[in-house]
Structure 1
Amino acid sequence: MAKSLQIKSVMKTFGQTTALEEIHLDIEKGEFVSLLGPSGCGKSTLLRIIAGLDQPTSGRMNVDGFDITASSASSRNIGMVFQSYALFPNMTVRKNIEFALKPKKLSKKTRTDKAMHMLKIVGLEALADRAPQQLSGGQQQRVALARALVIEPDFLLLDEPLSALDANVRHQLQQEIRRIHHEFGMTTIMVTHDQDEALTMADRVAVMNNGRIAQYDTPQNVYRHPADSFVASFIGTSNQIAQLGKTWVIRPEHFSVASAQSGMETYVNSMMFKGAFYRLKVSVIDRTSPFFNEKLIVDLPANVVDSRNICPDQRVYLSVHDHEAQLSKEMVMA
């Protein structure tokens, strides 16, 4: 059964180093939350504290309103999936999953039935008697996921579970994990440094930087309305232009081709084909534009670029969409 988690003023220090500072996080029942940030930002440390593998230096954690800060990892009913899979090579796939049920004192038949049921859910029922080393990386991660789920956890914790996989397998497992999350309705917390993964999979994203949460919001708001320049830089690609005490943050896709009468004149320095679009690097040469002399990254649909024969070393007129303009403390979002 899904439970809620409240993290209040959690700090974690290692000697003179502060890994986490004043972490506040409220996670609702059945929610999928991603902890996103660069290496060393504290996201894995926070996940270990949630799991009970580390204790916070200060602060507390409540599950459904009950303080669990000092409780052991074994008492928290948490399923955890690691990047390394952590499967036992001397056990079959089925026995790896059954192993998670041993503390529950169930009969062997019940353990086997539950393990086979989980293998069916992750699509590996036919591989139950194989050794883990006979499986692909994606299949091994499915086994690790099944082992975490078989105990019917209150929380599913995922520590960069897909980072070792190639792009196609990673995409398939993103969809699979999201499907299973919905099917089981459990509260899921995933650590990742991959922004696309976080935006694709999570209901809410906690963007972390230097041991703090820079922004905690929906993927749409984190992308469209970043709280500060770090979030704007870390999430997606952005042009940040400082003017009159404010910073304009303009996403590359917010530009479009315009006429000479209505657009600003730019010079195309380079361009790269990206499939559905071209990514251009341009210099603004229009002296009447507030962006004069700025260098910008611009994404234009491939069919528009091809039909207009836009090429490097030529001029193109661009306009900026302002329908998403959003003023924040630090910046203007275009």
Structure 2
Amino acid sequence: MAKPLRIDSVMKKYGNTTALTEIQLDIQKGEFVSLLGPSGCGKSTLLRIIAGLDAPTAGKIRMNQVDVTTNSPASRNIGMVFQSYALFPNMTVKKNIEFALKPKKLSRKAINQKAERMLKIVGLSDLSQRFPQQLSGGQQQRVALARALVTEPDFLLLDEPLSALDANVRHQLQQEICRIHNELGMTTIMVTHDQEEALTMADRIAVMHNGQIVQYDTPQNIYHYPANSFVASFIGTSNRIEKGGKTLIVRPEQFYISNEWSGVETTIESMMFKGAFYRLDVNVIDKTSSYLAKKFIVDLPSSTVDVEEIQPGKRLYLSLHQSSLTSLKELVI
């Protein structure tokens, strides 16, 4: 099956510094893919190369089976939203959106219709005559999103578009972007360093480290079956258990409280309330245990535990859920 976007052996060097090494990535039509990784891993560089804002040192970019490696951004039929809103302060919301259509040489009626449709999609119809300085950060980002979408691009590229927003607004816009993506069926690529954002929004995630893609898979597989120690430590919280010369990865929620005959004896070092769960740092007391680790991080559902029983200094017996014992064999890294 032909892929709408194929990144073929892309490399990028800046002098003696290699920013990207042999990037190979296929993205399906209508898919939402997140480029995820720590600062400096190369994710924004890769997005700029996809957009045509930067040229690769080697390799090819193919969009809809056409080699666009040397094409200008304007010829790639993309929409792009940056962290900074980049709105024109002297234009109304509607005028900002309409501005993206000027190169299309459409009639005034067609421009108006397209702008009105996008205002409705992003929920800003009532604010169309306001200026950017009269809007909240979240509303301004909606305008930037509408401006990117109004040209009906084949690809929507998002470069950390929500990182400047507070948590509540960011969560709302995550839902809105996913809704719009599904409604329009557009191929979307989003750069983020926020793992929760990637896990929540993406169909597939490309985890990047030191200029390379170290795992490309669904959010579920990346979380439950990390490909290597970097992915295991970067995505979520994990415990490492050395057993038989191998390293097993166990997530904090895979533990449960057991009776003293079947569990590992531990003492609670610290406890933190996290809303839906309590996070415990525990130290292993049972030196005969097969779990060769000195301490664990444990998450227990807040609705199922007595807070008095998980105070620092208390003793606790832990076991792993049966499903976790089955999957541990596949989590050896």
> Counterparts of 1:66-81 in structure 2 under 5 Å?
66-81=66-81
CA contact (8 A) 2:242 2:291 kept: no
Question: What are the residue-to-residue correspondences of 1:145-160 with 2, within 5 Å?
Answer: 145-160=145-160
Aligned to 1:221: 221
Q: TM-score, length-normalised on structure 2?
A: 0.96
1:109 positional shift = 2.3
1:302 Cα deviation (Å)?
Answer: 1.4
**8 Å contact from structure 2 (residues 241, 292) kept in 1:** no
Question: Aligned pairs, how many?
Answer: 330
Would you say the 8 A contact 1:225–1:326 is kept in 2? no
> SS state of the match for residue 303, structure 1?
coil
Aligned to 2:115, the other structure's residue is in SS state helix
| Correspondences of 1:224-263 after superposition (within 5 Å) | 224-263=224-263
1: CA distance, partners of 2:263 / 2:329: 23
Deviation at 1:327, TM superposition (A): 3.7
Which residue in the other structure is 2:102 paired with? 102
Give the whole-Å Cα distance in 1 for the aligned partners of 2:167 and 2:131: 25
Question: Sequence identity of aligned pairs in percent?
Answer: 71
Structure 2 distance, partners of 1:210, 1:67, is 26
Structure 2 Cα separation of the partners of residues 294 and 326 of structure 1:
19
Instruction: State the partner residue of 2:118.
Output: 118
The answer on whether the counterparts of 2:36 and 2:191 sit within 8 Å (CA) in structure 1 is yes
Tell me how far 1:307 sits from its aligned partner: 6.5
Q: Structure 2: how far apart are the matches of 1:293 and 1:118? A: 55
After superposition, residues 258-269 of structure 1 pair within 5 angstroms as 258-269=258-269
- Kindly provide the amino acid, as one letter, of the partner of residue 47 in structure 1: L
In structure 2, how many angstroms separate the alpha carbons of the residues matched to 1:293 and 1:74?
Answer: 55
The 8 Å contact of residues 267 and 285 in structure 2, kept in 1 or not, is answered as: yes
**Comparing 279-288 with 108-117, which one deviates more in the overlay?**
108-117
Partner of 1:11: 11
Aligned to 2:54: 54
Partner letter of residue 206 of structure 1? A
* Cα distance, 1:292 vs structure 2: 4.7
Query: CA contact under 8 A between 2:248 and 2:328: conserved in structure 1?
Result: no
Q: Which amino acid aligns with 2:55?
A: Q
2:41 maps to amino acid: C
Contact 1:78 / 1:155 at 8 angstroms: preserved in 2?
Answer: yes
Secondary structure at 1:171 match in 2: helix
Q: Counterparts of 1:266 and 1:9 in 2: how far apart (Å)?
A: 49
Match of 1:185 in 2: 185
Alpha-carbon separation, structure 1, partners of 2:109 and 2:215 = 47
* Aligned counterparts of 2:133 and 2:190: Cα–Cα separation in 1: 25
Match status 1:144 vs 2:140: no
State the SS of the aligned residue for 1:170. Answer: helix
Maintained 8 Å contact 1:34/1:204:
yes
Residue in 1 aligned with 2:283?
283
Shift of residue 112 of structure 1? 1.8
Per-residue deviation, 1:322: 4.4
Q: Which runs of 5+ in 1 are unaligned?
A: none
2: CA distance between counterparts of 1:292 and 1:75? Answer: 57
Checking the alignment, whether the CA contact within 8 Å between 2:243 and 2:291 is kept in structure 1 is: no
- Answer with 20-29 or 234-243: which moved more: 234-243
Deviations 1:139-182 (A, max 9, x none): 00000000000000000000000000111110000000000000
1:30 alignment partner in structure 2: 30
Deviation at 1:277, TM superposition (A): 1.0
Which residue of structure 2 lines up, in the alignment, with residue 299 of structure 1?
299
Partner of residue 130, structure 1: 130
SS in 2 for 1:178: helix
2:271 counterpart letter in structure 1: M
> d(CA) in 2 for partners of 1:194 and 1:292?
31
RMSD across aligned positions (CA): 1.5
SS in 2 for 1:309: helix
The DSSP-based 3-state class of the residue aligned with 2:175 is helix
Moved over 6 A (4+): none
Partner of 2:165 in structure 1? 165
Q: Does residue 20 of structure 1 match 2:14?
A: no
Q: In the alignment, what sits opposite 1:88?
A: 88
- 1:292–1:24 Cα change, 3 Å: closer
SS at match of 2:161: coil
Which residues of structure 2 form unaligned runs of 5+?
none
Amino acid at match of 1:278: Y
Query: CA shift at 1:117, angstroms?
Result: 1.2
User: How far, CA to CA, are the matches of 1:270 and 1:74 in structure 2?
Assistant: 55
Cα distance in 2 for residues equivalent to 1:292 and 1:76? 54
**Which of 286-295 and 176-185 deviates more?**
286-295
Kindly provide the amino acid, as one letter, of the partner of residue 9 in structure 1: S
CA distance in 1, matches of 2:59, 2:131: 43
Give the deviation of 1:293 after TM superposition: 5.2
